[in-house]
Amino acid sequence: MYDAATLAGQLRRLVELDLDEDAEDALIAEIGANVPDPEWMGAVFHSRGFERPDGTLDYDAVSAHILSYRAIRL
């Protein structure tokens, strides 16, 4: 399980670096295996809730959100 700083760094790599498809897929799989939120990509790519006024992603805020996920157990 990633800590917040590690996750923020990995998300920054995913969003800001121009990775080839294989490297991007591997990083997505690695992040997915190390975070509790199965819908983490939605917070990164489909939410404006973690966007700064200049349009960049607030990696610390989105990391905290992703790591705060708790599954509902019935």
pLDDT in tens, 42-52: 999 999 999 99
Q: For residue 32, is it within any domain?
A: yes
Residues of the chain with pLDDT under 70: none
Give this prediction's pTM.
0.91
Closest-CA residue to 66 (of 54, 47, 55, 13): 47
In-domain check, residue 17: yes
> Which pLDDT belongs to residue 32?
98
For residue 74, being part of any structural domain is answered with no
Count of the separate structural domains present in the chain: 1
Residues 37, 33, 61, 5, Cα dihedral to 10°:
150
Residue numbers of the domain that contains 60: 4-67
73 within domain boundaries: no
Domain assignment present for residue 72? The answer is no
